[in-house]
Amino acid sequence: MKQPCYLSDMGIICAAGNSAGEVLQALSDGGDYLVSREGFGVSESQMLGLCEGELPDIPLSETRWQTRNNQLALAALNQIRPSVDRFIERYGAHRIGVVIGTSTSGISEGEQAIRQWVQESKIPSAYDYKMQEMGAPADFVATLLKTDGPVYGISTACSSGAKALATARRLIRAGVCDAVIAGGVDSICRLTVQGFNSLEAVSTEVCNPFSANRKGINIGEGGALFVVSNEPEGAELCGVGEGSDAHHISAPDPTGQGAAGSMLEALKDAGLTAADIDYVNLHGTATALNDQMEAVAVHQVCGAETPCSSTKPFTGHTLGAAGAIEAAICWLLTAKQSNVLPVHKWDGVPDPDLPPVNLVDTRNESAVPKQYVLSNSFAFGGNNISLIFGRVT
């Protein structure tokens, strides 16, 4: 009998809102949350998912901690701080781990430092190379909380945040930790925007997943952190399916085999069938190849009736944080027992070359809260993961 594992509490910040309540409202009202901005090193304005509210100040004095990435992590952490403190008091700091996924870390601060070095031949005194280490967000949270359990970062591109949750479950089941602060955080930077632009993968309009008119992704930023434990509260992390099909360094396997394999493995791990899944949060990037592959995989595993939606038109593609933010959306459906599914925001023009999937139209509601929901995160190099969340009864 596998030991159950739960996401006891959750904090979130993204373009769609600065709290769980704000994000849940945004997903049901179908409003506009992405913004057009210049200044990211490309020739035209970009549609971006920015966190434009005031972020908390970093309470640690060392230069290495002073990054926007850590501010986003702190904004999410502050929302769950009472739960975190309760677990630390109950089990001791040595039994609390921290695992956080990211792909940019403090690279934005690194960009600013290099710019000054080019212009003035000196590095700014406020810069420390440790800012942009991939383990920096996890180190920051552990240092702030004064925990002594395992601390490390995960960077598998767009699946990083979801893989942090899977790792947290393993640490708890192995008896290494009694609770783990886990999730993902990524701040926007010029390197990311220019990099995806060079791949011809970005859209200057709001992304349009699964549409015949889709033109690419919108880069976003944000974070979501969870308290992962074996105490039955919040939502259960019922199933995890991971794979690394290594089809191509950046392009997904068009057959969808890797993605379908992750979904099937998650179902097997949870002891469920596809008929048990009430909703699928699609990776849904709005690129031609990803949507084609995911439509094939979802249709193969779940058929054409299971409600699905991509929430990236609300948040942007938050890269290393995406898997955690989309897990947080699924957490809201199960832990908060919402009967409103996230709207699939698009132009309503289906691509005739894609197998049919049941995209949620405006305010698709049912009287029964969702029992099981699945979230997909598919990354460069075939670093795929599917997570299944269940309502705690």
* Residue with more model confidence, 46 or 101: 101
Phi, psi angle pair for 103, to nearest 5°: -130, -20
Q: Tell me the mean pLDDT in the region 133-156.
A: 97
Parallel, antiparallel or unpaired: strands 307-309 and 358-359? parallel
CA distance 35 to 4: 40
Q: What is the pLDDT of residue 366?
A: 57
Q: Decide which of 380 and 273 is more confident.
A: 273
Q: Select the more confidently predicted residue: 168 or 251.
A: 168
Cβ-contact 367, 313 below 8 angstroms:
no
**What is the arithmetic mean of pLDDT over 277-296?**
96
Q: Is the pLDDT of residue 43 over 80?
A: no
- Alpha-carbon gap, residue 245 to 319, rounded angstroms: 19
In this predicted structure, what is the pLDDT of residue 363?
Answer: 58
177 pLDDT more than 90: yes
Question: What share of the chain has pLDDT > 90, as a percent?
Answer: 81
pLDDT, residue 137, reads 98
Spell out the domains of the chain, with CATH numbers in brackets.
6-391 (3.40.47.10)
Name which of 223, 211, 202, 204 is nearest 153 in CA terms. Answer: 223
Q: What is the pLDDT of residues 187-215, one digit of tens each?
A: 999 999 998 888 888 999 999 999 999 99
Report the 3 state secondary structure along the chain.
Answer: CCCCCEEEEEEEEECCECCHHHHHHHHHHCCCCCEEECCCCCCCCEEEECCCCCCCCCCCCCHHHCCHHHHHHHHHHHHHHHHHHHHHHHHCHHHEEEEEECCCCCHHHHHHHHHHHHHHCCCCCCCCHHHHCCCHHHHHHHHHHCCCCCEEEECCHHHHHHHHHHHHHHHHHCCCCCEEEEEEEECCCHHHHHHHHHCCCECCCCCCCCECCCCCECEECEEEEEEEECCCCCEEEEEEEEEECCCCCCCCCCCCHHHHHHHHHHHHHHCCCHHHCCEEECCCCCCHHHHHHHHHHHHHHHCCCCEEECCHHHHCECHHHHHHHHHHHHHHHHHCCCCECCCCCCCCCECCCCCCCEECCCCCECCCCCCEEEEEECCHHHEEEEEEEEECC
Tokens of 346: 């698009």
What whole-number percentage of the chain has pLDDT above 70?
97
Indicate the average pLDDT of the chain: 93
Q: What is the pLDDT of residues 332-354, one digit of tens each?
A: 999 987 778 899 999 999 999 99
Q: How far apart are the first and last CA of the chain?
A: 19
Average pLDDT over residues 10-21: 97
Q: So which residues are the catalytic ones?
A: 158, 283, 317
Write down the pTM of the prediction: 0.96
